Amino acid sequence: MGMVLYGMNNTRTVSDQMMINHASAVKKAASKSLVFFDLPFRKKFNESEIINRVIKIKNLTKCDGVKIEGNLELIDIIKYLTKKNIPVMAHLGLQPQKYSNSKNFKIYGRNDNDLEKILNESILLEKAGAISILIEGVLTNIAKIITQKVKIPTIGIGASEYCDGQILVSEDMLGLFTEYHPKFVKKYSNLAKSVKIAVKKFADEVNEKKFPNKKFRYD
C-alpha cells in the first residue's frame, strides 16, 4: 500500500489510520473472502501496545484477522490474540518492514543457518496459535520444507510453487506499477500502457474540440 499507492520508498511509514481506511474499504467490498489487515511498523517493540493496536484496528475495520511481520518475539502476542479469538497470520522470510529502503530487500536463505532458523520459527509460531504463515522472498527449498513440516497453510510471495497459496500485488500483476519489478512478479497484463494511451487520446480530443460532443452532453 505504501509503496504502490503512495510512492513511499518502504512500508515503514504507513500509519495505523491509513491501514484502517484501506482495510475498511477492502472489507466492505469483500463478500466472500477472509480479509486480514497488515499491522503497520513501529520502531519500538512493545507487546501491550501491539496487542492494543491490533484490537483497535480489527474493531474499526471489521477485518477477520491480522498479519504481523516478526519472529519469535511475537509468540506471546500470538498466544494472547488467539485467546481473544483474533486470528494471526505470521510473516517470515523477507520482512519489508525491516528495511528503510526497498532497494535493500534481500532474498532469504543464502546463509547456511537460515533454513534451520526459519523452520524452527515456523513450528514455534504455529504452536503459539498462528493460523497460517506468509513466506516472502525465500529460496525454493526453504518454502518447500516449511510447507511440508507445518500443518497450517503457507502463503507464498516470491516463495515458489510449493506453498499452499500464492500472492501477487494486484498493481504488479496487472502491469500498473512499473517502478520496481522483482523476479517473482509475472505481469498478466500491461494496463500502464493502456492507461497512457487512453489519457493521451482523451487529452487530444479535448484539445481538438472533439470531446465532449452532442453524444456526451445534456440538451
State the catalytic residues: 136
Residues making up the chain, counted from first to last = 219
- Strand, helix or coil for residue 7: coil
Give the integer Cα–Cα distance in Å for 6 and 171: 12
Which runs of consecutive H residues, i.e. helices, occur in the chain? 2-6, 16-29, 47-61, 75-83, 114-128, 140-149, 170-173, 191-207
Q: Report residue 38 CA to chain centroid gap.
A: 7
